[in-house]
């Protein structure tokens, strides 16, 4: 199985600030077709996870440009700029390159 | 509007069985892969399995952690996804979500609200 390792486990940021979350995979996420199926999700308190980013750097419909993804191979980053109160929750990375599909252990974002 | 609504959760004894349902609406059900994902309280999500779309013969893939105990099926006339869970254990206690799986982008683009399953005597 592809193990997804996220750091940090938690972080605290002031409103308007910027944060970065790291996600590393135990194997390359480059599919045989050349695509890299790395995605990011946000789970707000009491809600289901919601899709933010797909294929490393593409924002899902309706997602603010304050969210950006980058990386390649086994090393990926989610950046959130101009943090707002609605950004709090747990962020998960996920891989869709090979079965079984797997998620990272999560990064909890708190607002100072 | 895409909607996914799970039902069938509850309390079950160890060794028991339970079947979850997920009613889908707002999209052409047969065109999409569908998945089940669970999340134990305070932990990360765990993918359980997927059932492919009509074009791919409605075949299935499972996480080895549940293969042989859990079965995913779909009723394409009523747009319902099912998860049959057998020989349940305490460690199967979790919120269970159905989600639409987009194999072209490798993501779960829509999730249900989830249903709680508690395995306890």
- pLDDT, one tens digit per residue, over B66-96 is 999 999 999 999 999 999 999 999 999 999 9
Residue from B95, B105, B115 to probe the interface with A (highest A Cβ count within 10 Å): B105
Q: Which of these ranges, A1-5, A70-74, B100-104, has the smallest mean pLDDT?
A: B100-104
**Residues A66 and A80 sit within 8 Å (Cβ to Cβ):** yes
d(CA B2, CA B20): 19
- pLDDT, one tens digit per residue, over A62-87 is 999 999 999 999 999 999 999 999 99
**Residues B60 and B38 sit within 8 Å (Cβ to Cβ):** no
- pLDDT, one tens digit per residue, over A41-67 is 999 999 999 999 999 999 999 999 999
Residues of A at the B interface, defined by Cβ within 8 angstroms: 1, 31, 35, 37-39, 41, 48-51, 54-55, 58, 60, 92, 94-97, 99-106
d(CA B87, CA B62): 16
Sign of CA dihedral A43, A47, B114, A61: negative
**Residues B21 and B74 sit within 8 Å (Cβ to Cβ):** no
Cβ-based contacts under 8 A for chains A and B = 65
Residue from A35, A101, A106 to probe the interface with B (highest B Cβ count within 10 Å): A101
Strand order, beta sheet including A67-72: A4-7, A19-25, A75-80, A67-72
Nearest to B106 among A1, A50, A54 (CB): A54
**Residues A48 and B96 sit within 8 Å (Cβ to Cβ):** no
The candidate with the shortest Cα–Cα distance to B105, out of A99, A56, A77, is A56
Residue A112 clears pLDDT 90, i.e. is over it: no
Nearest to B106 among A41, A50, A55 (CB): A55
Q: State the pLDDT at residue A3.
A: 98
Mean pLDDT of chain A: 97
Q: State the pLDDT at residue A58.
A: 97
Mean pLDDT of chain B: 97
Provide the CB-side half-sphere exposure for B92 (13 A, CA): 26
């Amino acid at each position: 199985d592809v193990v997804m390792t996220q750091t940090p486990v938690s972080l605290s940021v002031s409103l308007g600030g910027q944060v970065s979350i790291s996600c590393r995979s135990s194997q390359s996420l480059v599919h045989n077709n050349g695509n890299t199926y790395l995605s990011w999700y946000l789970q707000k308190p009491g809600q289901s996870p919601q899709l933010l980013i797909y294929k490393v750097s593409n924002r899902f419909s309706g997602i603010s440009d304050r969210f950006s993804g980058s990386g390649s191979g086994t090393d990926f980053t989610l950046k959130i700029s101009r943090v707002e109160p609605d950004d709090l929750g747990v962020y998960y990375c996920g891989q869709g390159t090979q079965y079984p599909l797997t998620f990272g252990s999560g990064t909890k974002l708190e607002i100072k | 509007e895409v909607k996914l609504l799970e039902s069938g959760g509850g309390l079950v004894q160890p060794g028991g069985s339970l079947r979850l349902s997920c009613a889908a609406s707002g999209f052409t059900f047969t065109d999409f892969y569908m998945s089940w994902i669970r999340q134990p309280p305070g932990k990360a999500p765990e993918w359980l399995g997927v059932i492919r779309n009509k074009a791919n013969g409605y075949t299935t893939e499972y996480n080895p952690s549940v293969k042989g105990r859990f079965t995913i099926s779909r009723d394409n006339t009523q747009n319902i996804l099912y998860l049959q869970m057998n020989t349940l254990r305490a460690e199967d206690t979790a919120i269970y979500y159905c989600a639409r799986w987009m194999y072209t982008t490798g993501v779960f683009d829509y999730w249900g609200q989830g249903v709680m399953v508690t395995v306890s005597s």
